[in-house]
Amino acid sequence: MNWLLLITAGLLEVVGVIGIKRVAQRNNWTNNLLLIAGFLLSFQLLIRAMETIPLATAYAVWTGIGTVGAAVVGMVFFREPRTWARIGCMLGILLSVVGLKVVS
């Protein structure tokens, strides 16, 4: 159950990052609400997940999901570069996160 909370927390971190990008483009209530709600919910779920998942593992998984998710969103929705190097680095992050889950 806590792994599901942790994965959801990582996805909500991506929502918060989308909010940051949107606030940078247009500062309005909707975008600020997206930013704040995304991060607040993400932190709450991360706290709950850390009740049973070790700190280093939980934080690495959370930031890994957030990093890869933000990069994918940037490429798909914000026309950021899609290079093989970026994709390779994202695969490295994903493999590292899966490795942490396996050894935890």
pLDDT tens sequence across 47-88: 999 999 999 899 999 999 999 999 999 999 999 999 999 999
Which amino acid, one-letter code, is at 99?
Answer: G
Domain of 27, in residue numbers:
2-103
Q: What is the pLDDT of the chain when averaged over all its residues? A: 95
Report the greatest alpha carbon distance in the chain: 44
The band of 97, judged by pLDDT with boundaries at 50, 70 and 90, is confident
103 has pLDDT over 90: no
Dihedral sign computed on CA atoms, order 53, 56, 60, 63: positive
Q: What is the pTM of this model?
A: 0.91
How many domains are there within the chain?
A: 1
Pair of tokens at residue 40: 């607040």
